[in-house]
Chain A
Amino acid sequence: MQKRILMAKTGLDGHWRGPTIVARALRDAGFEVIMIGMANTDDIVTSAVDEDVDLVGLNIGGHIDVAIRSIENVQAARPGLPIFAGGTIPPHAAKQLEALGVEVYPPGSQLIDIVDAAERLTGIK
């Protein structure tokens, strides 16, 4: 069964390389990746609902508070929907995300581990 993953960038950071490479790895692993690019909180929530995704991947740039608001709103709109995050996330911010149940993949994470996480979080494995 084809699983769907939403990929979004929070904040106004313009670095595309990370999420693009991750999206490509997930595509090659057989996922349908819905890329929405840089998005505000409302866009992320609307996309998570309308696209009926099985997992949300956030590339976090800019202020962590913006990301946290997006995560809380997604969790309110789609209770139980797994979320994982990557990007240049400082350790104290990573702790805040993990406290919300978000798995964090900081720079240096291996694509194979990210794909594994996606398979686990969507229930394929």
Chain B
Amino acid sequence: MGEPTTQTLLKSAVGGERSSLARLLSKIERDPKVETEIRTSLAGGQATSLVVGVTGPPGAGKSTLISALLSHTTASYEKTAVLAVDPSSPFSGGALLADRVRMQSHGLGDRVFIRSMASRGESGGLARATSTAIQLLEACGWPLILLETLGIGQVELEVMDLATVVTVVLNPGWGDTFQANKAGLTEAGDVFVINKADKDGAQQTRVDLQDSLSLIHSPVPIRIFDTIAVKQDGVESLWQGIKDYLNEAQAVGLIEQKLLSRNRRLLMRILQRDFDDRISAYWRSDHGGNQVLRTLAGDLTIEALREDLFAHMAKLD
């Protein structure tokens, strides 16, 4: 009895078999060839699922907030999938994926699918296979995907490329007006959440954020919500706010634009991945390795190395 083929699994997963979907997600994480095969098989499909990105610093309450949102999202949509990314160790390669600790006992059974992903060396706040995982969930009929990034700093904002709406979760005392005006995180959000809003400094954080956000020219107003996710406080309003954002964004054509940009990005990733693989193959080959050494020794210019690389890339396979 051999392992079922990728195509067999894909057919079964698209037909609604969870264990096949789960197995495929592991396969695309482990094997870039399978990932490419899945992407190729699903290419040309319509991007129809809404992806709600949830990002923010470590410990801000992203997982707890997602857990609290589930009862509301499943009132609006039949089913909700969650992709939760946590960091891999740069030392051991291992990871402690503990987002699910906050997401237990939602009591929603088969209507919720949660998958933990380790970042495996990626630096954008997501994992290498996240974009393909989204495509796959979409093909398997999950209309809403909550995408939780690992705890980010200021610039790990790959979630912007994939999400239909980006929710940034912060806490009271997170920073002052200068933090709020720094580039990166506060430019990335469509909806902002001040979670743990019962802590000191919530009002000041709101004022600092408001000041900064008021200078952004967004076709849809950027709203700020206070929540205490562990108590469900403010979570219903937040979900309403996300839906309002989506409706307003739809009305001005922004959703269409974002879905197109997600597809463009996915396509570019496929090519980038191939490109990277080919550069690596050149680097490891006898010829390429030799050219690299010659460049380091000053016998070959970087421009000449680049030309040689491009010439050889087409031939590699």
Contact = CB atoms under 8 A, between A and B. Distances in A.
Q: Do A and B interact? A: yes
Interface of A: 1-2, 4, 23-24, 26-40, 42-43, 47, 49-52, 77-78
A37 B104 contact: yes
B113 interface: yes
Contacts of A27: 89, 92, 94-96
A33 B104 contact: no
Interface string B103-115: 0110001000111
A29 B94 CA distance: 7
A4 B115 CA distance: 12
A28 B97 contact: no
B94 A52 contact: no
Closest 9 CB pairs of A and B: A37-B101, A27-B94, A52-B22, A35-B98, A52-B26, A30-B94, A36-B100, A32-B95, A34-B97
11 contacts: A1-B30, A2-B93, A28-B91, A33-B95, A35-B98, A37-B104, A40-B105, A42-B109, A50-B18, A50-B22, A52-B19
Contacts of A23: 96
> Which of B23, B26, B97, B118 has the largest count of A CB atoms less than 10 A from its CB?
B97
A49 B23 CA distance: 9
A36 B18 contact: no
Given A33-B96, A42-B109, 9 more contacts: A23-B96, A28-B89, A31-B95, A32-B94, A33-B97, A34-B100, A37-B101, A37-B104, A38-B104
B116 interface: yes
B156 interface: no
A interface: dominant SS: mixed
A32 B88 CA distance: 8
A50 B97 contact: no
Nearest to B89: A27
B interface: dominant SS: mixed
Contacts of B118: 2, 32
B29 interface: yes
Nearest to B106: A43
Contact of B115 (A2, A29, A30, A51): A51
A55 B188 CA distance: 38
A39 B95 contact: no
Contacts of B22: 49-52
B25 interface: yes
B29 A50 contact: no
Given A27-B89, A49-B19, A35 B104 contact: no
Contacts of A49: 18-19, 22
A40 to B, nearest CB: 7
